[in-house]
Structure 1
Amino acid sequence: MSAEEQVKVLEKRIGELELENKRLHDSVDYLTRKLFGRSTEKTSSLALGQMSLFDEAEIQADPLAPEPDLNEVQGYRKKKFKGQRKELLKDIPHVKRLCTLDERDRFCDVCNTALVPVGEEFIRTEIEFIPAKVRVIDYYRETFECRTCRKNGEPYMEQSPMPYPVIQHSMASPSTVAWVMHQKFVNALPLYRQEKEWKTLGVNLSRATMANWILAASRDWLVPLVERMHQELLQESYLHADETTVQVMNEEGRKNTSDSYMWVYSTGQYCKHSIRIFEYRPGRSGKYPQEFLKGFKGYLHTDAYSGYKMIPDITRCLCWSHLRRNFVDALPKDIHSPEATLPSQGITYCNKLFEIEKTLENLSSEQRRLERLNQETPILEAFWAWIDSARGKVLPKSKLSEALAYALNHKEEFMNYLKDGNCSISNNLAENSIRPFTIGRKNWLFSGSPKGAAASATVYSIVESAKANNLNLYKYLQFIFGELPGVQFGEHPEFLEDYLPWSPEVQEACQ
């Protein structure tokens, strides 16, 4: 090999190493942001002007423009208004506390005459915290006798009815079980910390006992409701699905460090009923959503995970929030550098679509579909044309290259939301539903058994469905445990209708 050829080989190798070095630096920057950066998906600024990446309402859409403009977004501070405090406290009971003079001090310092009250003046309002307290209720049953029948030699006696216990042979009451569940699944308070709180109230209630309460109460009273909601969910035409990892101990044939999954299925924004159902499964195979959604035919909103392809008779709508997130991940460390131009353009295209979507929320399904075709189609055409042109300008195997490929490989699924006005542009509904579970997971870390994970899925299904139906979560749990025991829903499943989150009885009692 001649010296000239050797130089060319070395130059080529140097170029390859420089590209590899650039990719490694980008990867380190990306992982550093994920580990130490802000968890929110909002960014303060970009090059080519200031721009907020995820405040879609601040970005004005121009469907005819082939290239989007980046607009400055100014931060704002929420201003107080007159009567704000009164509005905040309007639903809280008020107690008047009059500050007065002691009887011994009610005399005039000048002439020693007795003072008489002539008026009072309002000074301020305070919120008082009343610590929780517990009490023991001892149930007695009264017995009645007919004296006439006894005289006639035919004694007749009758006992008063008793409320059915939420858990047989237990000191648990509807309020205590509801509170334990509320603390863990709504406030993300682990049982070991609840154990300490109960102790401060004078009750030595072990975490094992509380865990058994959750298992028994969910099995007997919540599972039937969730199964009924599952039937309703399958009748809808627009669903969302997502999944996240969970560590479950003592799974048969698996290590404790293995990843299991919590799946969530949700009805769409414009469906008849707001339903959120969680399901624990030991893996991420597509057979799990296939089994859960058996019989469903319609539009399913998900991420691009290939396992959802196993579900027959559905039309998949992929999430534009996921796509936008990929462009955010592709931003360089210095977002004012020229290298930020391409990913910022991708972000802005997505933002323009989200901005239009906000203006269409109150339209009918058909009007929304037509307006999408009219307003969003030009932006989408410009976006896909930009994708094609940008592919040749990016570093292979880079984050931006992956984002462009992700969009292009799933173009059809990203466009499917245009087919029906009741479809959504994102899967945020499912992601928002599963977020409380991920927050709780950070506190309690793992489930102690598959039964515990299944019970957690059941309680989260009730809690998140109640939240979606604007219920007071504690009141709803207490309502179920106080009213459902003793109802013969095994023989008459239709009785469960009165205990679903959207029933008029529940709405009236649990607001």
Structure 2
Amino acid sequence: MICLPDPLPDPYDELRDVAEFLLAANRRQAVELKAKTVEIEALKFELARLRRWRFGASAERFDPNQPGLFEEDLEADLGATETRQALAEVALPGKAPRRRPRRQLLPAHLPRIEHRHELENCTCGACGQALTVIGETISEQLDVIPAQFFVHRHIRPQYACRHCDTVTAVPPPPQVIDQGLPAPGLLAHILVSKYADHLPLYRQAVMYARQGVFIPRSTQAGWVGACAVLLEPLVERLRVHVLAESYLQADETRLPVLAPGTGKTHTGYLWVYRTGPWSTLQAVVFDYAEGRGQTWPKAFLDGFQGTLQIDGYAGYNAVLAQDGIVEAGCWAHVRREFFDVFKATRSPVAAEALRRIRTLYEIEADVKELTPEARASQRQARAESHLTEFKTWLDDTLLKLPPGSSLAKAIGYALGRWAALRVYLQDGRINIDSNPVERALRGVALGRRNYLFAGSDGGGRRAALSYSLIETCKLNGVEPYAYLKDVLTRLPTLKARDLDTLLPWRWRPGP
């Protein structure tokens, strides 16, 4: 072993300086390489997520209610093949008919039109004796009559008094639009077609023209505006009842709005507030706003006290800062963060997080039919310990991950909202996630694809009014067309104090 003198001579000092410089440069390169690796991983994750959003399924699981066009064609091909097979079997002599699967019974509330098929000769072909009825074979087919226009003729005889030269007649029935052409049924049909079936007015005009009835889009638009004025006090009563609840879910979605005179659009927003899925009152109310700032939900929720369940968007911070407001988190959004990472990278850490979250949902499936008190008790007994272990695992895992990675962001999102995510344990009325309020926005998303944009801020406000009533009808099992037709018939003569009788959960069809 060679012992170098200490201190080293000058040549060795120069070598030491070179070595230290190289070590420092190596450390800098290692840090830069690590940062670049994290950046590349994050960019790959974002690219994979954008590709899935653009070209993949639009949800985390396939929605059977919206099959693709190719799948519809495959079903049509299958039906055609089965029909050809059935025709071929009929042509074969001695071939027993193929047993078809039992069809679902048709709804009992549908009117029935009976067609009786009697024998022309009620005598036996073998012996000539009279035949006796021993029973009936009944089969049913479903049919439809497309929307048909008809005209109400209001005939009011005029009575004259020859003594005092006066004329008397029954006053005309009140109308939504004074001396207007449309009856309540037509107005309800236009509103439901536009806001429930997502048919823009110009498409409705084309459909009506095929039946020889020409209602220009501009005329329909004027009618929609008149209906909105009449329905506004009713929706205000709906808002009052919703804000009186002590637990609400909230969400928001964009609504492109045409800027007058520019030919361009700006982004408006529909904010939606829903009562809890186990609340006695099932209602949802929409509010149109010209922006996504904190002032909008703060103004709308003025006076609300209780638990507000949201996805963590900072626009609700001004509301949550008020006394008497408790924030509840959404586990579906936490799951979505890990799902995006797993879908893009197949990370085993993300898979483990998804497994742990699935356990929480399995507990919810077991307790969903219980009373709120029993549900809270079961959550505390079964889910609380699981959450404690989950948080420990998240804390430990985060220490092993490079900062800024997609997985670190997903874990940071969960840990940053942990207090809000635990609120549902203590109150059985609170849902594990805010999916119920998101479902209320599905109609808006479908309509947005058809409309492309609202024509004005006023159009956004009218959409909010109509969506509020239609979505609340759906929550209460009320058919929107029947409801709106009856409401538009009654509103012109209804006193303000009786408005609550027309709210969807209290509404009863008129005579």
Asked whether the equivalents of residues 188 and 484 of structure 2 are also in contact (C-alpha less than 8 Å), the reply is yes
Q: Amino acid of the residue matched to residue 188 of structure 1? A: H
Q: Distance in 1 between matches of 2:107 and 2:377?
A: 44
**Helix, strand or coil at the partner of 2:286:** strand
Which residue is 1:38 aligned to? 57
Which residue is 1:463 aligned to? 470
**Helix, strand or coil at the partner of 1:94:** coil
Counterparts of residues 222-371 of structure 1 (less than 5 Å): 222-250=231-259, 256-311=264-319, 312-313=322-323, 314-333=325-344, 335=346, 339=347, 341-371=348-378
Mean alpha-carbon deviation: is it higher for 125-134 or for 306-315?
A: 125-134
Does residue 24 (structure 1) correspond to residue 43 (structure 2)? The answer is: yes
Which residue is 2:419 aligned to? 412
Does residue 495 (structure 1) correspond to residue 506 (structure 2)? The answer is: no
- After superposition, give the CA deviation of every residue in 1:326-370 in whole Å (9 maximum; x if it has no partner): 1101114464xxx2x111121122221122122222333222222
Q: Distance in 2 between matches of 1:317 and 1:19?
A: 32
Q: Distance in 2 between matches of 1:297 and 1:8?
A: 55
Q: Amino acid of the residue matched to residue 215 of structure 2? A: L
Q: Amino acid of the residue matched to residue 278 of structure 1? A: F
Find the partner of 2:212 among 169, 183, 202.
202
Asked whether the equivalents of residues 265 and 453 of structure 2 are also in contact (C-alpha less than 8 Å), the reply is no
- After superposition, give the CA deviation of every residue in 1:14-49 in whole Å (9 maximum; x if it has no partner): 4544443333222211211111111121289xxxxx
Asked whether the equivalents of residues 251 and 450 of structure 1 are also in contact (C-alpha less than 8 Å), the reply is no
Residues 509 and 355 from structure 1, CA distance in 2 versus in 1: closer, same or farther, beyond 3 angstroms?
A: farther
Counterparts of residues 102-141 of structure 1 (less than 5 Å): 122=137, 124-141=139-156
Asked whether the equivalents of residues 107 and 114 of structure 1 are also in contact (C-alpha less than 8 Å), the reply is no
Which residue is 1:377 aligned to? 384
Q: Distance in 2 between matches of 1:273 and 1:134?
A: 37
Give the superposition deviation at 1:502. 1.5
Q: Amino acid of the residue matched to residue 89 of structure 1? A: P
Residues 218 and 332 from structure 1, CA distance in 2 versus in 1: closer, same or farther, beyond 3 angstroms?
A: closer
Asked whether the equivalents of residues 327 and 400 of structure 1 are also in contact (C-alpha less than 8 Å), the reply is yes
Q: Distance in 2 between matches of 1:32 and 1:366?
A: 44
Q: Distance in 2 between matches of 1:318 and 1:251?
A: 39
Give the superposition deviation at 1:161. 4.1
Asked whether the equivalents of residues 329 and 399 of structure 1 are also in contact (C-alpha less than 8 Å), the reply is no
Q: Amino acid of the residue matched to residue 363 of structure 2? A: I
- After superposition, give the CA deviation of every residue in 1:462-486 in whole Å (9 maximum; x if it has no partner): 1011111110111001011112212
Residues 286 and 333 from structure 1, CA distance in 2 versus in 1: closer, same or farther, beyond 3 angstroms?
A: closer
- After superposition, give the CA deviation of every residue in 1:168-225 in whole Å (9 maximum; x if it has no partner): 23211101110011111111111111111010111111111111111111112x1111
Q: Distance in 2 between matches of 1:327 and 1:238?
A: 27
Asked whether the equivalents of residues 195 and 207 of structure 1 are also in contact (C-alpha less than 8 Å), the reply is yes
Counterparts of residues 438-449 of structure 1 (less than 5 Å): 438-449=445-456
Q: Distance in 2 between matches of 1:460 and 1:297?
A: 24
Q: Distance in 1 between matches of 2:388 and 2:454?
A: 47
**RMSD of aligned alpha carbons:** 3.1
Asked whether the equivalents of residues 185 and 460 of structure 1 are also in contact (C-alpha less than 8 Å), the reply is yes
| Larger Rg computed on CA atoms | 2
Does residue 97 (structure 1) correspond to residue 105 (structure 2)? The answer is: no
Q: Amino acid of the residue matched to residue 208 of structure 2? A: W
Give the superposition deviation at 1:431. 0.6
Q: Amino acid of the residue matched to residue 168 of structure 1? A: D
Asked whether the equivalents of residues 471 and 507 of structure 1 are also in contact (C-alpha less than 8 Å), the reply is no
Residues 116 and 133 from structure 1, CA distance in 2 versus in 1: closer, same or farther, beyond 3 angstroms?
A: farther
Asked whether the equivalents of residues 259 and 266 of structure 2 are also in contact (C-alpha less than 8 Å), the reply is no
Give the superposition deviation at 1:143. 3.4
Give the superposition deviation at 1:144. 4.3
Q: Distance in 1 between matches of 2:327 and 2:34?
A: 42
Q: Which runs of 5+ in 1 are unaligned?
A: 45-79
**Helix, strand or coil at the partner of 1:90:** coil
- After superposition, give the CA deviation of every residue in 1:201-258 in whole Å (9 maximum; x if it has no partner): 11111111111111111112x1111111111112110111110001112369x98332
Residues 434 and 125 from structure 1, CA distance in 2 versus in 1: closer, same or farther, beyond 3 angstroms?
A: same
Q: Amino acid of the residue matched to residue 320 of structure 1? A: W
Percent of counterpart pairs with the same letter?
31
Q: Distance in 2 between matches of 1:368 and 1:315?
A: 19
Q: Distance in 2 between matches of 1:483 and 1:470?
A: 21
Which residue is 1:73 aligned to? none
Q: Distance in 2 between matches of 1:320 and 1:90?
A: 40
**Helix, strand or coil at the partner of 1:85:** coil
Scaled by the length of structure 1, the TM-score of the pair is 0.81
Give the superposition deviation at 1:395. 3.9
Q: Distance in 2 between matches of 1:121 and 1:421?
A: 53
Q: Distance in 2 between matches of 1:123 and 1:231?
A: 52
Q: Distance in 1 between matches of 2:394 and 2:430?
A: 24
- After superposition, give the CA deviation of every residue in 1:301-327 in whole Å (9 maximum; x if it has no partner): 111011212112310101111111111
Mean alpha-carbon deviation: is it higher for 118-127 or for 223-232?
A: 118-127
Mean alpha-carbon deviation: is it higher for 320-329 or for 166-175?
A: 166-175
Q: Which runs of 5+ in 2 are unaligned?
A: 1-17, 64-98
Q: Distance in 2 between matches of 1:334 and 1:417?
A: 31
Which residue is 1:454 aligned to? 461
